Amino acid sequence: MMHWRRALWVILAVLLLGAACVLLYRNGPGGTPFLPGCLFRKITGLNCPGCGMTRATYATLHGDLERAFRLNPLGMILLPIALLGISLEVAGWVRGKPLPFTFKLKRNSGWALLYLILAYWVLRNLPWWPFTLLAP
Amino acid sequence: MQWYYSKGAVQLGPVSEAELKAKIASGEITTSDMVWKDGMADWVPLTRVPELVVTAPAAVQAPPPISGDSASSYIPPVSAPQPGVNYSGQPIPNYLWQSIAVTICCCLPFGIPAIVYAAKADTLKAQGDLQGALAASKSAKTWVRVSIFSWLAIVVFYILVAVIAGVSGTHL
């Protein structure tokens, strides 16, 4: 059975996300006061796994996928997959029962993704080529 | 509290306790079906859950147990899912995608423990440790929330700073 209150929450979240995208599209990463940028980078001076994603999203919205991938290659691969996975789960949550098809990885993929992200975190802070390609 | 129930090999839910009771009262869920909710170690037949069996049509006709021992009236259901077969399909969310998304989007290190617990939930579930998997699943959810809410707190703080700067006419 449908959960209408859950559906309302999802609609609200999608509207907020859409509004944020419109503002980012118009004002750019520097001119959007509610997008504070990376706090981790501000404090430590180091890149985090998500650094460059605001600029990459801006580039994606303007159709410049190549620039987006250069800013955060792993983020541009993982974020769409994660968003697709979340969307399917949310659809099941609103519907009241899981969708007939699932989007789940095999048993140990969670650990693999964890090590991949941790390695990415370290590597994109190394000051030598080719690791500098991973930095935003 | 959200309940899951099974019709044969098909798992359904989650439904609220009121919805589940309505389904029991209407006969959609029979006493031979299995039910499970967050926190229970394993699926149990409907007749084993005292707070639900009261409203079951079968229980209305049967006299109440004298000693409160509901196990004596328990008949193994034919359609009950077999242990071991059913474990792989337990509806325990792992929050892996949510954890990945907050790690990339929130720029805070709190996404890492979320991924650790998400991966742990899957591993424990595969090993058959449902209690452990549920605990890990809850921890993953908690860390996802911590990430989102601390990011939101920072955003609100920045908006406030921008508004105050705008009102006072100064540039920060």
pLDDT digits (tens, 9 = 90+) for A58-105: 999 999 999 999 999 999 999 999 999 999 989 988 988 778 776 777
Hey, are the CB atoms on A36 and B14 less than 8 Å from each other? no
Q: What predicted TM-score, i.e. pTM, was given to this entire model?
A: 0.67
pLDDT of residue A18: 94
User: Looking at residue B59, what is its pLDDT?
Assistant: 45
**Subunit contact B103:A49, Cβ cutoff 8 A:** yes
Between CA B56 and CA B33 the distance in angstroms is 12
Q: Which residue has the tokens 């911590």?
A: B146
Q: For residues B120 and A38, which has the higher predicted lDDT (pLDDT)? A: B120
At a CB cut-off of 8 Å and minimum separation 6, what does B104 contact? A49, A50, A53, A72, A75, A78, A79, A82, B111
Mean pLDDT, all residues of chain B: 75
Helices (H) and strands (E) in chain A, counts: 6, 0
Residues of B with CB under 8 A from a CB of A: 12-15, 19, 91, 93-94, 96-98, 100-101, 103-109, 112, 115-116, 118-123, 126, 154-155, 157-159, 162
Residue bearing tokens 């920045």: B158
> Which among B107, B123, B154, B156 is the top mutation candidate for probing chain A, defined by the most A β-carbons within 10 Å of its own β-carbon?
B107
Q: How confident is the model over A30-70, as pLDDT tens digits? A: 776 667 778 888 888 899 999 999 999 999 999 999 999 99
CA B68 to chain centre: 29
Q: What is the DSSP string of A14-67?
A: HHHHHHHHHHHHHHTGGG-TT----HHHHHHS---TTTTHHHHHHHHHTT-HHH
Cβ separation A114–B119 shorter than 8 A: yes
**CB contact (8 A) between residue A51 and residue B13:** no
Q: Are strands B10-16 and B34-37 parallel, antiparallel or unpaired?
A: unpaired
